[in-house]
Every structure is written in structure tokens, then in C-alpha cells.
Structure 1
Amino acid sequence: MLRQEDAPLFGEDDDTINQRKSKIRHPLASFFHLFFRTSAILVYLLCEILSSSFIACMVTIILLLSCDFWTVKNVSGRLLVGLRWWNQVDEDGRSHWVFESRKAQSKNTPSSAESQIFWLGLIVCPIFWIIFVFSTIFSFKIKWLAVVIMGLVLQWANLYGYVRCKVGGKNNLRNMARNYLGVQIFKQAMNRTEEP
């Protein structure tokens, strides 16, 4: 079941917030949004050069991925794009997705630069982990498979949650896909009728 709420996010009701003129109003959140993600990728790529201990590398990567998951889900999503999601289990054991978005009339609307940083980091990094999964399988480095799958799962969970939060539930995603396909089919039909 999908539930969407309009709720004030932290800092939204604060009148003492200093509005900066720069495009990036939350540089620390922007930095850590990208820092943990890229650090986990860099440690994975440079692990054999940095340390000969598989366990030390694995623990470092998983800690970085966990810090990234928490930071994106609880801090940078709220500050950079005004979105927040979580999964709640009720007394009956049913799972409910809950989404919050900053009110449109809020004075703390996210800047386009922060939004681009957020979505770029959120989309690009899971692509790297997908590549790492296939490269691990094809190079027969099976001991790394659990690490790269963990990276993919944690990064994909945030991406999935924020896409659903931005677009809405599964019905909205299906409607968007149908509308897009309908528009494409209509354009092709119009192009064919215009050709002699």
C-alpha cells in the first residue's frame, strides 16, 4: 500500500535560516552525498593497491556504503530535493511505503544545482555497481561478489525509493510509461501520415 504525506521537513519551519545567494545552499550535504558514494567505489577499485587484506577492504567498503545509505535517505534527500521515504510495517505485518515531500509553497525550495547533484549521484553510482557485479562474475573474483551485490542493493534501494517518492506509486510509474509510449506511437503515426 502506498501512502503519501505532505509534512514539514526539518529546518523548514525555521525562520532563522540564513538564505545564501549561492546556488548550493547546503554544501556539506552535497559533499557528503557524493563523498561516501565515490569513496566506496574508489576503495573497491584501489583495494588491491591500498591493502592486501580482503577483510579490511570489505569492511571499509560496507561501512562507506552504510554511511552513504543513511546520509542519502535521512539528510541529503531532505535538504537537496525536499523528499523523504521510508517503509513502515503496521500491526498486521503489512508493509507500507511512506513518502514525504516539501510543500510547494515552502520558502526553502531546493536549488536546481543541488537537485542536479542529488539526482546525478543517485543515478550514476548504481550503474558502477552493476558494472562491478558483471566484472566480478566474468573475472571469477567470487569473493568480491557479496561486496558488490551489497553495494548494488544499498544504492538501488535509495534510487528506487526516491524515484517512487518523486513520481509517486507504481500506478504513476505505469501511467508515465503508458503516456510516454502513447506519445511515441502517436508521433510515429503522424510522421508516417506526413510522408508522401
Structure 2
Amino acid sequence: MKSRDVAFAALFAALTAIGAQISIPIGPVPITLQVLFVLLGGLVLGARLGFLSQLVYVAMGAMGIPVFAGLQGGFAVLYGPTGGYIAAFPIAAFIAGYLTEKTEKKAGMFAGSLGGITVIYLLGWLRLAFFMNGDFESAFRLGLLPFVPFDVLKATVAVSVAWAVRKMVETV
């Protein structure tokens, strides 16, 4: 692995940590910009480095570095109501990057972004439902439905930014 790759993975881990602090509390799961940077990491860096960037982010938080929303850190956050969402970030970045690498078209980037969001929702919803004593319906209403319009917007922004970045890199 090149030092350039490590630097880019670290950059997106840091951007995700910053995005976590831009937070609107609306219940057990806040609205943050983490998903935007998770998707951007996969779309810009590709599957492997996107995955690595988010793995670094999750590891930093698990070690107690306050990179999660509300300047929280530690394994307890991963065990808490938002842990499933956070644990899904590396997989989501991988999916976004993988479909981008396979298609190299905006539609593929958007499909990868939606696939990544789906994984985040699935793991997050399951963990939240477990945290809520198996109340899957309430977990769905509180931890998924309110986020759909925001995350579709984040996916759209991520694809637009990543497309522009990729076009700039091609011309350099």
C-alpha cells in the first residue's frame, strides 16, 4: 500500500469524524453528515480504500477517540443504539466503491450509494431493534423512516461531488 493511499484513507476517516459532529438530534439516532462522507469515501477512493477509511474511523471510535456523534467514543457507543449504523460504514463504503469501479457511470455511483445506505439501514435497524427489546416496528419508525429523504439527498450530493472529483483527476 502506498503512502498516498494511507493518507487518503486517513483523510476520509477524519472527514467522517467531522461529519459526525454536524448533528441534529431527533431521537435515539441523530441526523449527521457521516453517511455523506462514508459514501464519498467509497465513490472517490474505490472499494478497497473506501472500506479501509471507514474501518479506521470505526477503530478510532472503538478505541475511545471521540469521533462519533456528540464527541463520543468507546466500545459502548458501538454496543448502543447507533452501533449497527456505525458498524455498517465500512461495508457501505465498499459497496459504493465497488459499483463505481464496475460501472464508472453516474447511475452506477448512485446505485452503489443506495446500496451502501441500504446496508447502513439494515444493520442499524437490527441493532436499534435489539436495543429496543425487539421492537422492530418502533426501531423502523425512529431509526430509518426519518432518514430516507436526507440520505437520498446525501447520496445525490456524494455522487455529484465524486463525479466532479473523478473528472478533475482524469484531466490532470
Higher strand share: 1
User: Larger Cα Rg: Structure 1 or Structure 2?
Assistant: 1
Q: Which has the higher contact order (CA 8 A, sep 6+)?
A: 1
Instruction: Normalising by structure 2, report the TM-score.
Output: 0.27
Higher helix share: 2
